[in-house]
Amino acid sequence: MTASTLTRGRSALSRRPAREGGLTWVSGLGLGITMLWFSLLVLIPLAAVVATAAAGGWDQFWTTVTNEQTLAAIRLTLGGAVLVTMLNVVMGTAIAWVLVRDRFWGKSVLDVLIDIPFALPTVVAGLVLLSLYGAQGPLGVDVANTRAAVFLAFAFVTLPFVVRTVQPVLAELDRDVEEAAASLGASRITTFRRIILPALAPAIAAGAALSFARAVSEYGSLVLLSGNLPFQTEVTSVRILSSIENDNRAGAAAVATVLLLISLLVIIAIDLLQRRLVRRG
Amino acid sequence: MALVDVPHRGFDEDQRDDTERAREIRPRRRASLGTWILRLVVTAYLFLLVAWPVSLIVQRTFSEGLVELRGILDDPDVVHALRLSVIVAVIAVVINTVFGVGMSILLVRYEFPGKRLLSAFVDLPLAVSPIVVGLSLVLVYGGRDGWFGPGLESAGFQVIYATPGIVMATVFVALPLVIREVVPVLEEIGIDQERAAHTLGANAWQTFRRITLPAIKWAIVYGVVLSLARSLGEFGAVKVVSGNLLGETRTATLVVEEKYLNFDKGGAYATAFLLALVSVACIVVVAIIRPKDDTP
């Protein structure tokens, strides 16, 4: 979204007189109010997290972040997020493919199912997964309070991201090129690898970045499902919350800063990827 | 080939064109073995991950008839929590809609320094952990030692551990949703009609109300429905800022956790069912609205 805003905004600007692209006093006032609101709500609070983490000095920050239990939590979160992102790259692309190219009865139901993890309250998502994969589930598997539960919760909440970024790009893709490749003797796999995949790559990467960011920051669905056992199933968000509850705000802010840094990197990555997407499209 | 039959390929017709062409050109080859396997894998994955678990919650809620549901609806604390959740969600959606539309117009139609940074930062709430959101608000608006909190509190305005804090946390997490829907549509429609209206003597407000608003109407509705689902279901950020006081600042999602941890599983499932019902209804409404959006 962000990159396309920029590129198209600029090309539109060159077409119109300079007066309209600039700020009038009404839009200037609107910008001022919007920025004030955005600062009070988002920018200043997030700055406060970094400032609180920095207040204790580098040594204290480093000691907090490299605390063994914290490191275990960060490792579990990042590891789980990487694994689930890989799963989403494969399954998300496959789901998008089926939704766009295949036609069968009940397909629109699948389309609705994709959005449910996004809209379902996270704590409800945890409960929902627990009812199938918990102790009294009809499948007879019990993943509650294990690392598999963390992975399962990640997979559930990140499901929509790759699908929803790949789907529109796949739908817009020109079929003529594929038909040309096929008529020149390329197999379906070759066509997919050489023609379709390169066109989808930026969208897949953007979706992967989103799903990685979502998994890293997940909290709600894990509360009931993973048991939050230190060194076992405790993720970073839970670690931060326990610091807050122990009134250790500096500690909480230090770990939160690490998460914020990851979020920021992901946002930058998405921005760059989407710019590439726009240039191609 | 098929392009000859379709002289004008509009933006929105692309997908329909493609499926039509696919039917014309290769009607048999599509349903090969590979297609069937893919179809099966995807359906099984979605069934196991989403459909079956979500349907189980309905089953658990109604396993003893309407007892559980009636039980939570007779509990004044739960009813209070549900009402609080709805009020907070409605306020958050109104705020996010007004500022979301304003922000989208600023980002698409105007040039100003720092625009690039702002448009990147708008997405940040989607990537930040709800716990970090809660912590950040407590650090600034906390009544004891926040940056602004003590000042606001001495002026008689408590934010953290009160409803304003819950509203702020909810607005924060749902912030990008309206903007992400409206911005692409604003880009799509361009500025020609707005300029025409301007030339014909319409002022900024008239142009917005008569030209821009009708064009982005469905994008706003879509964003509002998504925001509503997200706001109603916010959990982590609210948990940090609300203080979770029974009958005061406990929201519906917090009730689910509390009931489950206190071994009132029936009550937890029933409350979760109500929340799931609303969010699934939101998704279905969006699914019905969306095709209308694609064929103007």
Q: Tell me the C-alpha distance between B260 and B166, whole Å.
A: 22
Closest residue in A to B60 (Cα) is A131
DSSP per residue, A163-207: HHHHHHHHHHS-HHHHHHHHHTT--HHHHIIIIIHHHHHHHHHHH
Interface of A with B in 173-192 (CB under 8 A): 175-176, 179, 188
Where does chain A have alpha helices with state H? 2-15, 18-21, 25-38, 44-55, 57-65, 68-101, 107-119, 122-133, 147-172, 175-183, 188-191, 197-216, 222-225, 236-245, 249-280
- Full pLDDT tens readout for chain A, 281 residues: 333 333 333 334 333 443 456 677 777 888 899 889 999 999 999 999 999 988 888 888 888 888 889 999 999 999 999 999 999 999 999 999 999 988 888 888 898 899 899 889 999 999 999 989 988 888 888 888 889 999 999 999 999 999 999 998 898 888 888 888 888 888 888 888 888 888 888 889 889 998 999 999 999 899 888 888 888 889 999 999 999 988 888 889 999 999 999 888 888 888 787 777 666 55
> What are the φ/ψ torsions at residue B111 (nearest 5 degrees)?
-110, 130
* CB contact (8 A) between residue B15 and residue A171: yes
**How many CB contacts within 8 angstroms connect chain A with chain B?**
308
Q: Which residue has the tokens 């300029």?
A: B195
Name which of B12, B1, B8 is nearest B290 in CA terms: B12
Burial A75-90 (b: 16+ CB within 10 A, else e): ebbbebbeebbebbbe
Distance from CA of B178 to the nearest CA of A (A): 12
Chain A residue at shortest CA distance from B228: A119
Is the complex ipTM more than 0.90?
no
Contact B279 A12 (CB under 8 A): no
B4 contacts on A by Cβ (under 8 Å): none
A253 to chain B, any CB pair closer than 8 A? The answer is yes
- Give residue A189's identity as a one-letter amino acid code: I
Min Cα–Cα distance to chain A from B137, Å: 5
Which of B13, B115, B131 would best serve as a mutation to test chain A binding (most A beta carbons within 10 A)? B131
CA nearest neighbour of A156 among A204, A222, A97: A222
Could you tell me what percentage of chain B is helix, strand and coil, using 3-state DSSP and rounding each to the nearest 5? 80, 0, 20
Determine whether the interchain pair B115/A127 forms a contact, defined as Cβ–Cβ distance below 8 Å: no
Tell me the pLDDT of chain B averaged across its residues: 83
B282 in Cβ contact with B196 (< 8 Å)? no
Contact B56 A132 (CB under 8 A): yes
Q: How far is B220 from chain A (nearest CA, A)?
A: 16
State the DSSP code for B30.
Answer: G
Cβ pair A120:B233 closer than 8 A: yes
Residue B84 pLDDT > 50? yes
List the structure tokens of B200.
Answer: 């014909």
Short-list B38, B25, B175, CA closest to B103: B175
Distance from CA of A68 to the nearest CA of B (A): 21
Percent of chain B with pLDDT over 70: 87
Greatest mean pLDDT among A21-35, A181-195, B90-104, B262-276 lies in B90-104
CB < 8 Å & 24+ apart, contacts of A200-203: A200/A93, A200/A166, A200/A169, A200/A170, A200/A173, A202/A273, A202/A274, A202/A276, A202/A277, A202/A280, A203/A165, A203/A166, A203/A168, A203/A169, A203/A170, A203/A277
**Structural contact between residues A178 and B30, judged by C-beta atoms closer than 8 angstroms:** no
**Cβ–Cβ under 8 Å, residues B103 and A192:** no
